[in-house]
Each structure stands twice: as C-alpha cells, then as structure tokens.
Amino acid sequence: MAPIRVSALAGLWQSLGESNGKVKVCSFSPSQHSEAQSEALRRLRELMTSAGGNSGFSEKYDILSVTLCRCKGREMAFLGCLRDLNERYKNRETFGLDRELGTAISREGTWRRRVLDYFKSFENLCPDSYPNVRVLLAFHVPSSVEVAESVLKGNFARLKKLDAGFIGDGIYLTLNINYAIEEYGFYVHQLDVVPVIVCAVIVGNPFPVIENPFKDDSNWLGWPIHGKADSHIAVVASDPAANEGKREPVPCPLEKWGQLEVNTEVCVSEAQVLPLGVLKVKKTA
C-alpha cells in the first residue's frame, strides 16, 4: 500500500511482520511497548488529531490498550477497490453528480456543496496517486470489544447497522473520534470502556445527504447508496428542539452549523473499509 499515506504507520506493520494472507494481530499497552509499537501509536495519534473535530482527544480520553492488525489479502482487495473507483470516476459525464446536487444558487444545492467542502477539510491519505478518490481515516464504535475483535478478524458484516440508517443502507463510520466515543460508546452502547475501530475508508464520489428522516417525507432512511455515488456523507448534529424532542444526530441545516456541535457520518460498502486496529479508551479521570 505504498501509494497511501497509511503506510506512514510503517511501525505498525513492522511490529506485526508479513501477514502472508492471514490476519496478524498485535496488542500492547501504551505504557509497555516496543520501539516499533511506540512509533506506530505516535503516528496513529498524529493522524487522528490532525483531522478537524478530533482536537483534545489526548486530554479527554485515556488509551488503555492498542490492537493493531494487518492482512495482506485485505490490503490488496482495498487497493483494488481504490484503483477501480479511481478509474470509474474519471468519467464525470456518466458519474458526475452536479445535477443531483441541485443548482448552486438554491438552498439545497448550496447546502449539499458545503457538505462536500466540509469533508475536503479532512486529510486525504493518498493525495497524489489516485486523483479521483480520497482515503480518509475513520472510526466506528461497536457494541462490545468482542464485536470489535470479530471485525478485525474479517467479519465486516458486524460493522453494518442493524437498523435502517438515517443516511442510507451500508457501513457507518465517522471522521470524528470524539463523536464516535461520546455518541456511540457512552450514549448508545452505555460503555465505560469504549472499543474504537480505526479504519481507512475510500470516499470517491460521495452524495451529500441533507434530508432529515424525522421531518422530510422524502429522505434516505434505509435506502441504498445513490446509483452514481459510492458513498453517502452528512454533517450531522443533535437538535432535539427542532426534531420533536428526538436527540439522535441528523443532517444539520447549514444555518445552524455555527450554533450546534456538528460531526460527520459516512455510509459506504464493505469493500471501501480497511480496519487498521482497535483502541480501548475511557474518559480521563
């Protein structure tokens, strides 16, 4: 995966050695680790905190353990998906979404384009090699450590939402680790120790979802990803006052971005996700 900056986590894979097609896993404590593991953790922290919305992670949470994984077969499949999508989206005439976004002067069109711009503020891990797609660092908090370990072993189906997703049908991730911990770890799953799956995710031709499933008759609740797109993305916030008391994060109107705490949701297919490891974290005492 040399073309992808995820290879900056070379210390991660050096500590595991070659996977020979099988999943190799390495677990360690941040307080007791080898030099290679220390370097991998340092670079992982650097990638996490460089992304917008992830500042303050080290001050808010303690990392209790780190589990890193690699599988050459999964890496090659991920790279194949990356190449395929990059080639597909060269054809803007067929796959361009300008019409679907709405006119640039309309409220809908302006809002959708601002969502696209917001996502561009997150670091692209392959900025040069594949100009038509982006690879982003993303996070998913499952219901238990057991589920997280199952995902590392290859059971990607356990990443998929069991209910109808607000922005479409697929695997849900966020680019905001603090949001993943607070919303899904502490609130949804009521965990004291939160397992955070750290992933690389391919976002090539995203469709920005702005429809509110509580208020808009036409919305993306449970629907497949748009036919021209490879992903759905949304800038979301919790706004009970505007949503009949419901606190679940939903697409946030553009005019409220400065008033509410906004975060990201990404909905993709399994082939676009490469798990890198799991962090077990708890709130700093």
Query: Model confidence at 42, in pLDDT bands (50, 70, 90)?
Result: confident
pTM of the complete model: 0.92
Lowest mean pLDDT among 41-50, 56-65, 198-207: 41-50
Alpha carbon distance 14, 231 (integer Å): 32
Burial of 209 (0-12, 13-18, 19+ CB in 10 A): buried
% of residues, the chain, pLDDT over 70: 89
Pairing relation of β-strands 231-237 and 206-208?
parallel
Q: What is the rounded average pLDDT of the residues 27-44?
A: 81
Is a pLDDT exceeding 90 seen at residue 90? yes
Is a pLDDT exceeding 50 seen at residue 187? yes
Is a pLDDT exceeding 70 seen at residue 7? no
pLDDT at residue number 128? 80
Alpha carbon distance 140, 124 (integer Å): 18
Is a pLDDT exceeding 70 seen at residue 16? no
Class for domain 5-283, per CATH?
alpha beta
Query: Model confidence at 60, in pLDDT bands (50, 70, 90)?
Result: very high
Query: Model confidence at 8, in pLDDT bands (50, 70, 90)?
Result: very low
